Chain A
């Protein structure tokens, strides 16, 4: 560094021809290797293994070697009432808690926050986000306590002279769906708050001056302007909800009698309570395929961003 003098003018042409952009060739991708190795070994590897054992009869015990059984696991699944029940419940759970609950409530909260006073906004936001930040199992316990026969919900219903019931027994899928709304709405709220903040005020004000009412403004101006956020949010909520396990496990264990057994819990039961790893994995593969489809749609929604 002491010998800068021999180059009186750091010529521009010299700098342009020299590789002033760092190293070339394989050295450039070297920093990627640890990540790629980790991803290949611990993510791509299990997924490939998943595809393989879904076509075998691998069991936990009593069997020396798994054998290839072709599509048996899949034909079995589609003839299995418990599996179809799990598919149905997964659908109910996803539509109720993610598409309707988290999404709509998140949008409503974000819209109300635009108008509310600052202390109320901060308070509500803080509470909703706390529910989201809590560990999954803790959230499960809190809502277990809330929905139990002797829990808070029934106490409120009693106080209002409304009929109470044993929610976790009579309507477990509804209870876990509400739990998922409680836990997951903050995410939609944050996404939609960010989206609404980006709508220029002049546009909504102009519409107001032109006499458009609240609902018309929502339908014709706000929703179209945030449609990309709606798309990505729906996609991520759905994917998140598809893989919920701990929350339902803590609240109901999938019961009673499979009445809240969504696909992840069904998969777990087959693989571990019934020791049918092959069958459980076939279910996992189906879940993964559904997830991948949603993932691809999500990529298309974000297409322009990469």
Chain B
């Protein structure tokens, strides 16, 4: 009896392993293409063993014009917007988490509602509006919009993390005459460090990968972030240099993958999206 049970378990585990490996193989093909092609002097569109390993693709694209300026733009754009988002979200989450008020519930429901609005839909009116108020093609306009679009989710996440910090410590600080801002900065935020890190990394990753917002709101080529400038590999020259495109894709994707690994390790893999979506 115990033997058959354990052998059934083994069969089942092997079947599950086989199923997962099939899916993994299907999923890995496009990823394999980008890695192999970036090292292939004669990269084409299909997955194949490179004709000799080379770094010429990386060499060719590591110029200010192709790589460094767009990445710097991405960094300014996403860094600025993330900073704005996190500061505003931390401030906003504080009263929502700490004080009872009859406005809390409607406010949080509005925030949650806004979290799931399709932001893509409003890009055309945002463009029209930005033309009217002269914010079109400006870094600051794009940063403000980015921050606003990410803010509902950031507030929601931040509030959930903040709820996890016990209130007693703060009450002690208040009795000693600390202002709420002091207790937020000195007590609450340090205690919810991982939570702040998650909000920061998540906001940054979302914006880093976003194509449509800068595509619509920025016009000058010099200001384009990597998500938009990657398009230049097509069109300009008749032939697409797929090896270079692959190399650029890798350089552009690496920061977000590293950030993700960093944060998911620290939080045990769940990425703490759970707070927002767990049903």
Contact = CB atoms under 8 A, between A and B. Distances in A.
A80 interface: no
B12 interface: yes
B27 A128 contact: yes
Given A148-B45, A233-B277, A281-B125, 20 more contacts: A32-B92, A36-B92, A39-B148, A42-B148, A43-B148, A50-B125, A114-B16, A120-B16, A128-B23, A135-B208, A138-B252, A141-B245, A145-B30, A150-B46, A152-B30, A152-B45, A239-B117, A268-B124, A271-B127, A302-B279
6 contacts: A23-B179, A29-B95, A112-B16, A121-B20, A131-B27, A287-B118
Enumerate the 7 nearest inter-chain pairs by beta-carbon distance, A residue then B residue, closest first. Answer: A228-B279, A135-B209, A42-B148, A246-B211, A243-B120, A243-B118, A50-B125
B91 A32 contact: yes
Contacts of A294: 116
Contact of B119 (A187, A228, A243): A243
Interface residues of A, number: 109
Given A15-B175, A229-B278, A22 B98 contact: yes
B186 interface: no
Nearest to A289: B121
Interface stretch (A67-75, A81-89, A188-196, A216-224): A188-196
B274 interface: yes
Contacts, number: 308
B84 interface: yes
Contact of A112 (B20, B129, B205, B212): B20
A150 B20 contact: no
A284 B121 contact: yes
Q: Is the interface of B mostly helix, strand, loop or mixed?
A: helix
Interface of B: 12-13, 15-17, 19-21, 23-24, 27-31, 33-34, 37, 44-47, 84, 87-89, 91-92, 94-96, 98-99, 101, 103, 105, 107-109, 112-114, 116-129, 144-145, 147-149, 151-152, 155, 170-171, 174-176, 179-181, 183-184, 205, 208-212, 215, 226-228, 230-231, 242, 245, 249, 252-253, 256-257, 260, 264, 270-271, 273-274, 277-279
A176 interface: no
A34 B118 contact: no
B112 A306 contact: yes
A165 interface: no
A223 B226 CA distance: 42
A162 interface: no
A254 to B, nearest CB: 14
B17 A117 contact: yes
Contacts of A112: 16, 19-20
A285 B125 CA distance: 9
Given A137-B231, A232-B277, A245 B211 contact: yes
Contact of B124 (A20, A133, A284): A284
Nearest to A276: B124
Contact of B174 (A22, A142, A155): A22
Q: Is the interface of A mostly helix, strand, loop or mixed?
A: helix
A130 B205 CA distance: 13
Given A43-B149, A190-B271, A296-B113, A137 B230 contact: yes
Nearest to A280: B124
A138 B277 contact: no
B122 A295 contact: no
A39 B209 CA distance: 22
A161 interface: no
A182 B174 CA distance: 51
Given A152-B30, A230-B279, A134 B122 contact: no
A299 B112 contact: yes
